């Protein structure tokens, strides 16, 4: 089953704008709707109260008492005439119905009447719902007839919310359609604005698409990017810098490895072809095989070093850390190189103290690579110093220093690159594969440490292995 394609950012922003608009419109519409209900209710309540006052006034001026009401009820009922949805009922003090407007006013409630001596206020008005389904707001109040103090009439007045319900229904429909139109318009405008606002991203994507292997030097223009995207453009350009540098190193690495592998293979092939041009004695064939073994050993060392670096780059080498007595370990390494040093007329001087937590095998390999390199570049009769000391809290340093011509400053930053040699002519290619210092750096990276080099022209060249506690 094919997975759903993610929506575009412009579409997503358009939907988010629409959702935000829907929420805002809904809250605003709900508030306006509730406000309108309260205003209409307040208006109806005010009409009820003013009508009660009018009826009380007319009843006080009425002569003839209850019988006058029965004889001519329209005199009072006409008060609600023309008031659509308003109902009136008049009852005597025993609850007998004296007069009522048409439309079921007899079903109006009679609870909680307001005393004759009190003026009704909005708190006396209550929601009302009759048995016939009518509902609205109603008020009941006692009124005096004429000037007789003991003659009372109960006024029951109600305002059905029929007109108000129709008005609110129309308002709800208008509000709904307005909200839907606003949501659609916002979604459309939001999509258009987001699509327009994302144009710099599309421009950057086109520019990035033009960057190929042959155009790694191309960069995105930071000044053309909006302020919000400049940090991203800057990070992208830094990534391109790293990629270009890595690609150049990889290209150089491929060229170097091809050259270094070709030399021993060519030597093997030429020597073998020369030997086979004519019959040879057993001793000559044996000499050829002995010579070939040296080239095979060189190829083996090179391949092992490359495999080590590849595993180190992919963190496939598990460190086996243990406590190392630096004095004992460095003297042991120096004893191993004693024969090579004596043959070259060089003296090894060890001065170390303290302990270090590290992988013993890798530690030995890193120091051995530095010693091999130092012996190769030290003139006979000179002295190579090997020191181990604690430079600061949590930092231990191993130094290998040898006198010589020194290393030109322009080469110091690339000494630890793979297959890098100062001698462009590769005059030392027979004895060095150009991987020793690269292995040293990888070993220090695995330990979370670092390697430094300091070289004085026609003086001392010092390599430092810096281990962190």
Residues 16, 49 within the same domain: yes
Average pLDDT over residues 451-458: 89
Q: Which long-range contacts (CB under 8 A, 24 or more apart) does 44-48 make?
A: 44/136, 44/137, 44/159, 44/161, 44/164, 45/122, 45/125, 45/137, 47/83, 47/86, 47/159, 48/125, 48/137, 48/138, 48/139, 48/157, 48/158, 48/159
Most confident segment among 218-232, 313-327, 399-413, 426-440: 399-413
Residues 278, 324 within the same domain: no
pLDDT at 190 exceeding the cut of 70: yes
Residues 303, 394 within the same domain: no
Q: Does residue 2 fall inside a structural domain?
A: no
What is the tally of structural domains in the chain?
3
Containing structural domain, residue 255: 223-311
Q: Domain containing 257 — which CATH number?
A: 1.10.287
Rg of the chain (C-alpha set):
51
| pLDDT at residue 428, as a whole number | 45
Residues 294, 145 within the same domain: no
pLDDT at 366 exceeding the cut of 80: yes
Residue 48 CB: number of other CB atoms within 10 A? 24
Q: Does residue 204 fall inside a structural domain?
A: no
User: Mean pLDDT score of the chain, rounded to an integer?
Assistant: 80
Residue 408: pLDDT band by 50, 70, 90 thresholds?
confident
Query: What percent of the chain is predicted at pLDDT more than 90?
Result: 8
Q: Does residue 178 fall inside a structural domain?
A: no
Cβ atoms of residues 385 and 399 within 8 Å: yes
pLDDT at 403 exceeding the cut of 50: yes
What are the C-alpha distances in Å from 31 to residues 175, 312, 415?
Answer: 11, 67, 75
Residues 373, 305 within the same domain: no
Q: How far apart are CA 384 and CA 370, in angstroms?
A: 11
Q: Does residue 236 fall inside a structural domain?
A: yes
| pLDDT at residue 163, as a whole number | 66
| pLDDT at residue 431, as a whole number | 52
Estimate to the nearest angstrom the gap between the alpha carbon of 83 and the chain centroid. Answer: 65
pLDDT at 306 exceeding the cut of 80: no
Residues 122, 17 within the same domain: yes
Residues 283, 417 within the same domain: no
Q: Does residue 217 fall inside a structural domain?
A: no
Q: Domain containing 393 — which CATH number?
A: 3.30.565.10
Average pLDDT over residues 25-47: 84
Residue 438: pLDDT band by 50, 70, 90 thresholds?
confident
pTM recorded for the entire structure: 0.48
Query: What percent of the chain is predicted at pLDDT more than 70?
Result: 85
| pLDDT at residue 424, as a whole number | 44
Residues 336, 301 within the same domain: no
Task: Say if strands 347-352 and 383-392 run parallel, antiparallel, or are unpaired.
Answer: parallel
Residues 19, 89 within the same domain: yes
Residues 240, 344 within the same domain: no
| pLDDT at residue 272, as a whole number | 82
Q: Which residues of 316-329 are buried (b: 16+ CB within 10 A; e: fewer)?
A: eeeeeeeebebeeb
User: Which of 311, 326, 343 lies at the terminal end of a domain, its last residue?
Assistant: 311
pLDDT at 387 exceeding the cut of 60: yes
Average pLDDT over residues 9-29: 80
Q: Does residue 252 fall inside a structural domain?
A: yes
pLDDT at 252 exceeding the cut of 60: yes
Residue 364 CB: number of other CB atoms within 10 A? 18
Q: Which long-range contacts (CB under 8 A, 24 or more apart) does 10-15 make?
A: 10/191, 10/194, 10/195, 10/198, 11/191, 13/190, 13/191, 13/194, 14/187, 14/188, 14/190, 14/191, 14/194, 15/187
Residue 105: pLDDT band by 50, 70, 90 thresholds?
low
Helix, strand, coil % in the chain, rounded to nearest 5: 55, 20, 25
Q: Does residue 177 fall inside a structural domain?
A: no
Residues 44, 84 within the same domain: yes
E-assigned strand segments in 101-212: 126-129, 135-144, 152-160
Q: How far apart are CA 296 and CA 290, in angstroms?
A: 10
Closest residue by Cα to residue 193 from 14, 8, 6: 14
Residue 79 CB: number of other CB atoms within 10 A? 18
Residue 429: pLDDT band by 50, 70, 90 thresholds?
very low
User: Which of 295, 311, 327 lies at the terminal end of a domain, its last residue?
Assistant: 311
Residue 274: pLDDT band by 50, 70, 90 thresholds?
confident
Residues 459, 410 within the same domain: yes
User: Which of 293, 311, 329 lies at the terminal end of a domain, its last residue?
Assistant: 311
Q: Domain containing 31 — which CATH number?
A: 3.30.450.20
Residue 432: pLDDT band by 50, 70, 90 thresholds?
low
Q: Does residue 383 fall inside a structural domain?
A: yes
């Amino acid at each position: 089953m094919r997975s759903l394609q993610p929506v575009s950012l412009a579409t997503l922003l358009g939907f988010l704008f629409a959702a935000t608009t829907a929420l805002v419109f809904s809250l605003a519409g709900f508030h306006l709707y509730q406000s309108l209900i309260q205003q209409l209710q307040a208006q109806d309540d005010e009409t009820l109260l003013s009508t009660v006052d009018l009826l009380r006034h007319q009843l006080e001026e009425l002569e003839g008492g209850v019988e006058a009401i029965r004889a001519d009820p329209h005199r009072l009922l006409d008060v609600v005439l023309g008031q659509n949805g308003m109902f009136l009922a008049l009852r005597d003090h025993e609850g007998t119905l004296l007069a009522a407007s048409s439309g079921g006013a007899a079903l109006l409630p009679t609870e909680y009447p307001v005393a004759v001596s009190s003026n009704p206020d909005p708190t006396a008005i209550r929601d009302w719902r009759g048995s016939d389904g009518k509902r609205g707001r109603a008020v009941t109040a006692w009124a005096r007839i004429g000037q007789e103090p003991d003659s009372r009439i109960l006024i029951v007045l109600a305002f059905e919310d029929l007109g108000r319900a129709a008005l609110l229904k129309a308002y709800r429909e208008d509000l709904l359609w307005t909200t839907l139109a606003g949501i659609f318009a916002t979604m459309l405008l939001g999509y258009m604005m987001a699509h327009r606002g994302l144009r710099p991203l599309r421009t950057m994507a086109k520019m990035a698409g033009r960057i190929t292997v042959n155009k790694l030097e191309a960069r995105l223009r930071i000044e053309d990017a909006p302020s919000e995207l400049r940090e991203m453009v800057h990070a992208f350009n830094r990534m391109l810098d790293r990629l270009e540098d890595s690609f150049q190193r990889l290209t150089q690495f491929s060229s170097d490895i091809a050259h270094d592998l070709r030399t021993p293979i060519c030597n093997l092939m030429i020597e073998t072809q020369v030997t086979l041009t004519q019959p040879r004695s057993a001793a000559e064939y044996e000499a050829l095989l002995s010579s070939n073994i040296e080239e095979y050993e060189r190829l083996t060392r090179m391949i092992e070093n490359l495999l080590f670096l590849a595993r180190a780059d992919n963190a496939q080498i598990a460190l086996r850390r243990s406590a190392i007595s630096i004095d004992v370990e460095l003297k042991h390494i120096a004893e191993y190189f004693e024969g090579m040093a004596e043959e070259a007329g060089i003296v090894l001087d060890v001065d170390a103290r303290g302990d270090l937590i590290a992988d013993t095998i890798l530690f030995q390999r890193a120091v051995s690579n530095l010693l091999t390199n130092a012996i190769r570049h030290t003139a006979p009769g000179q002295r190579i110093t090997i020191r181990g000391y604690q430079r600061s809290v949590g930092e231990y340093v191993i130094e290998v220093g040898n006198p010589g011509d020194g290393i030109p400053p322009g080469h110091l930053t690339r000494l630890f690159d793979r297959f890098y040699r100062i001698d462009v002519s590769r005059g030392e290619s027979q004895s060095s594969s150009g991987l020793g210092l690269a292995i040293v750096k990888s070993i220090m990276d695995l330990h979370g440490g670092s390697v430094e080099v300091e070289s004085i022209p026609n003086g001392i060249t010092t390599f430092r292995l810096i281990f962190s506690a």
